[in-house]
């Protein structure tokens, strides 16, 4: 029998039935909860990470990842802070901006190499996003076999794949009823609930024509469940993202967040149709607090918009002709997910 829960029930039941105390101690969001007065973001820059005609240097990207993790944890072998070698690890990528701007293959490959070097079995690594057609358009090769790194989506494709957990759902009636697909329940991806012990969030630095911006928080909220078009209008976007990411299931299972800022977009996001709106920060940001990471990334996008003569995101109009809410970072912070006040975020910049 399908089990649906309202938000309060979901928060209470998933924390005990789905997640262990040990995982809570190692989770990024758990640490953010334990450090309410400050948060820390690693900002790793390399001038040659991107060169020429959008060429990404995969060796430099891996060096950036290694150094960022080492400095974040203070450990020469940082993965033991987040994972055990027996874990099944999900890499939640973002391919909505296909083909121009997705989580870079070079970053995904660097992550895979780091995980296997730590001792994670290749077949215990799953690279995934919500829609199969987005992943294939972004040139990710699907693999559902028992050999090699697995790579597949929650939904879509020619055979109409639906990897959704019928027993775990996010329920909210604060939405647009005209956009509901079968009611007020949004099923969570079974890749997330059943196939992964830990998840690493690989978001992309970009603006968004409805929400204002999209990085760590939105990559989770809109990437982990179905029936979420109902939340795409301005009054509902921020509350949905904050409410979804506040769930214990999400807060404790996602152990690390990265913002892929090797390339980014400052306008026409989340799926820019020309390279004019792209720029190359040549940076990755990483940490355990997605709110802090989004707050830092938001500042970068706004600065680029001002440089290009565009209004800041809070003063700009969305795709639907109404002001973009640009509010989910603040709403997530208000729920205790992390820190949004830049004065309380320590940014450790690493120039390589």
Place of tokens 């959008």: 54
Name the residue among 42, 114, 38, 53 with its Cα closest to residue 283: 42
Contacts of 175 (CB under 8 A, 6+ apart): 184, 230, 231, 236, 240
Relative to beta strand 198-208, strand 89-92 is: parallel
Instruction: Report the chain's terminal Cα–Cα distance, integer Å.
Output: 54
| Extents of the domains making up the chain | 7-351
- Main-chain dihedrals φ then ψ at residue 301, nearest 5 degrees: -65, -45
DSSP characters over 277-340: GEE---EEEEES-HHHHHHHHHHHHHHHHHHTTPPPGGGSB-TTSSB----HHHHHHHTTS---
Structure token pair of residue 77: 């072998």
**What pLDDT, in 10s, does the model give residues 131-182?**
999 999 999 999 999 999 999 999 998 778 899 999 999 999 999 999 999 8
**What pLDDT, in 10s, does the model give residues 111-143?**
999 999 999 999 999 999 999 999 999 999 999
pLDDT of res. 163: 97
Establish whether the linkage from the previous residue to 270 is cis, with ω within 30° of 0: yes
Kindly calculate the radius of gyration of the chain based on its CA atoms and give it in whole angstroms: 19
pLDDT of res. 14: 35
**What pLDDT, in 10s, does the model give residues 225-247?**
999 999 998 899 999 999 999 99
Find the angle CA(162)-CA(94)-CA(199) to the nearest 5 degrees.
75
**How many Å apart are CA 85 and CA 87, to the nearest integer?**
6
pTM of the model: 0.89
Query: pLDDT of the chain along its 352 residues, tens only?
Result: 334 444 333 333 333 222 222 222 233 333 334 445 899 999 999 999 999 889 999 999 999 999 999 999 999 999 999 999 999 999 999 999 999 999 999 999 999 999 999 999 999 999 999 999 999 999 999 999 999 999 999 999 877 889 999 999 999 999 999 999 989 999 999 999 999 999 999 999 999 999 999 999 999 999 999 999 999 988 999 999 999 999 999 999 999 999 999 999 999 999 999 999 999 999 999 999 999 999 999 999 999 999 999 999 999 998 888 899 999 999 999 999 999 999 999 999 999 9
Q: Do 286 and 261 contact (CB within 8 A), yes or no?
A: no
């Amino acid at each position: 029998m399908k089990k649906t829960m309202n938000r309060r029930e979901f928060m209470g039941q998933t924390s005990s039935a789905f997640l262990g105390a040990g995982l809570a101690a190692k989770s990024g969001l758990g640490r953010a909860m334990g450090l309410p007065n400050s948060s820390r973001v690693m900002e790793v820059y390399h001038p040659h990470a991107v060169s020429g005609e959008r060429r990404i240097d995969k060796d430099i990207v891996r060096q950036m990842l290694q150094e960022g993790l080492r400095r974040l944890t203070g450990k020469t072998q940082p993965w033991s802070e987040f994972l055990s070698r027996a874990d099944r690890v999900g890499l939640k990528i973002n391919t909505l901006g296909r083909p121009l701007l997705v989580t870079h293959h070079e970053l995904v490959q660097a992550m895979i190499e780091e995980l296997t070097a730590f001792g994670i079995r290749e077949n215990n690594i799953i690279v995934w996003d919500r829609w199969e057609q987005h992943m294939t358009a972004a040139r990710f090769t699907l693999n559902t076999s028992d050999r090699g790194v697995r790579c597949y989506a929650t939904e879509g494709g020619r055979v109409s794949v639906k990897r959704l957990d019928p027993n775990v759902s996010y329920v909210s009636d604060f939405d647009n009823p005209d956009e509901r697909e079968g009611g007020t329940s949004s099923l969570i991806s079974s890749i997330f609930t059943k196939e992964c012990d830990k998840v690493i969030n690989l978001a992309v630095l970009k603006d968004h024509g409805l929400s204002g911006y999209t990085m760590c928080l939105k990559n989770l909220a809109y990437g982990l469940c179905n029936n979420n078009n109902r939340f795409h209008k301005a009054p509902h976007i921020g509350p949905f993202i904050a409410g979804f990411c506040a769930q214990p299931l999400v807060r404790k299972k996602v152990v690390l967040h990265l913002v892929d800022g090797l390339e980014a977009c400052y306008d026409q996001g989340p799926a820019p149709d020309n390279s004019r709106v792209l720029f190359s920060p040549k940076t990755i940001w990483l940490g355990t607090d997605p709110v802090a990471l989004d707050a830092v990334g938001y500042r970068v996008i706004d600065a680029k918009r001002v440089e290009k003569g565009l209004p800041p995101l809070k003063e700009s109009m969305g795709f639907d002709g109404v002001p973009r809410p640009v509010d989910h970072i603040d709403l997530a912070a208000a729920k205790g997910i992390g820190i949004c006040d830049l004065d309380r975020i320590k940014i450790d910049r690493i120039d390589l």
